[in-house]
A and B are shown apart, each in its own frame.
Chain A
Amino acid sequence: MLLDINDVHFGYQNEVELLQGFSLHVEQGEFVALLGPSGCGKSTLMNLAAGLLNPLRGGVNFGGHPLHGLNRDVGYMTQGDTLLPWATVAKNITLPLELRGVPKAQREEKLDKAVRLVNLAEHRNKYPSELSGGMKRRALLARSIIYDPPMLLMDEPFGALDAQLREVMHQELLNTVARTGQSVLFITHDISEAILLADRIIVLGGLPLRVLEETEVPFGKDRKLSEVRTTKTYADMEVHLRELLRKADALTKSKQH
């Protein structure tokens, strides 16, 4: 078991406690999507896994050890543009290695591999302001995988992209993690994104937050997204999850007011 959030309690000031004994487990190499309405508390779960937030009670285990403080064995990618605008793509991607004190020769070697993996090889000396939205996403992806963390935490990483670019990035993300064998905890409110990417979908809703349903996605690791989209299984799952998400949304909203 790679990530083990066990019977965790957590809440924000002056609010109903959001998590009251919530548990979540992610296996080595598993791609788990957390699907739920906006504002239901998905990002809180991710920040607990990243160690940016600490549970009031209960524990978070990562790689078999209890987590104290920040979790530096994860890659962290959010919707925002968190590239450093004054540094080139190459400098940005190798930043985690530099901060971890990896020698320069080794950094160069890893950079070569990473930029090829995300198709940014010829843009490595550009500044972020010279990149398109899709290229920025690729750079962020490369930066979050370059230090080989066993798990990627992704909070709607492609939320700001247009539909076409998002499809491209979906396939690239799948190819990348298929090659690296990393686990992914992927937060989204987009149903098709969850079906296309995940091995397991966890539908969340309500206050306190609870699991409404857990679904295994049967397409396997080396799926071709253009083919997946045309299958009947995909269409059925989408209808089912849509209904479920509507329920989750109503549940979350009724408790918030």
Chain B
Amino acid sequence: MTAPVRPASQAQLSARRRRKAPVRISPARRAVENLVIQIILIGAFLVLWEYASDRWVPKLMVSKPSDIGAQIWKWTLDGTFVRNLWVTVQATALGFLLGAAAGMVLGFLTGAWRRVGEILQPIVTAFYTLPRLALAPLFLLWFGLGMEFRVMFSATIVFFLVYYNTYFGVREVSQELIAAVRIMGANPLQVALRVIVPSALVWVAAGLKISVPYALVGVVVAEMLASDEGMGFLLSRGASQFSAAQTFAAIFGLLVVALVVDWLITALTNRALRWKTAGSMQN
């Protein structure tokens, strides 16, 4: 995954917007119908699961939806969910912020200054090829079992994703544009702030967007490896106690967090990049 995530191009965006579905039923009606079908599908799956458990598959392995529901309800009432979710979300946010900030700064420096890039880029790539999990024992040694370990572990994952996208985004900025702005009277700081940073923003935003789920993955993995709190801890504790219900309940909690985070990020990045779609929205 050395290749950076390409932001959707102008042409792709406008093509997607222009192609409309032919009029047969109203979009609102279609949305309601889709939702109903989705609920029926999931419901049917749950019913099948409930029936199959202990009949076709051992309950120890898969638990069953009613037990999982009861577990979720219990954890919701006694505060287990809120406490551990909060720990995980906090670590994810910190890991993301730390990794993203470091990635953006280094990506910008290596992208904008050719010489700095020539020197540092190979070093960063060498570290990138290292499996991140191999760092876990070292990080544990350095940071102990606490929050710092999880934050740092998640930050190293986020760092590389954001770094590569920022680096390539900065490198993509047209030299012709930079020359034109310099002749217009811009000093190097103005070139950086007025041209390079906004030009690279599309790429950086794409990098940020995909790295949020990875920040969560990093934290959960770290919690599973060594922790006494958080959703990853609930997950591994459930499994080690042979309680499939607890494990599934923890997965359900993570699913909700991941969906909320993804929704938030989409809303934020769409807002920041509104200029990019101004033309295509008119058509």
Contacts and interface: CB of A to CB of B under 8 A. Distances in A.
Interface of A: 47, 50-52, 70-72, 74, 76-78, 80, 82, 84-87, 95-96, 99-100, 127, 129-130, 143, 147
Interface residues of B, number: 23
A34 B18 CA distance: 43
Interface stretch (B101-109, B183-191, B255-263): B183-191
Given A82-B177, A129-B10, A76 B280 contact: no
If over half of B's interface residues share one DSSP class (helix, strand or loop), that class is named, otherwise mixed; here it is helix
Contacts of A52: 179, 182-183
Interface stretch (B129-137, B138-146, B203-211, B271-279): B271-279
B78 interface: no
Contacts of B177: 80, 82, 84
A129 B185 contact: no
A71 B279 contact: no
A130 B278 contact: yes
Most buried by A among B174, B184, B198: B184
B276 A129 contact: yes
B41 to A, nearest CB: 40
B181 interface: yes
If over half of A's interface residues share one DSSP class (helix, strand or loop), that class is named, otherwise mixed; here it is loop
A85 B276 CA distance: 7
A78 B185 contact: no
B157 to A, nearest CB: 30
Interface of B: 10, 174, 176-177, 179-186, 190, 194-195, 198, 275-280, 282
Most buried by B among A70, A72, A74, A129: A129
A247 to B, nearest CB: 30
Q: Shortest 4 CB-CB distances between A and B: which pairs? A: A129-B279, A96-B184, A99-B185, A86-B275
B183 A72 contact: yes
B190 A129 contact: no
B160 to A, nearest CB: 27
B184 A127 contact: no
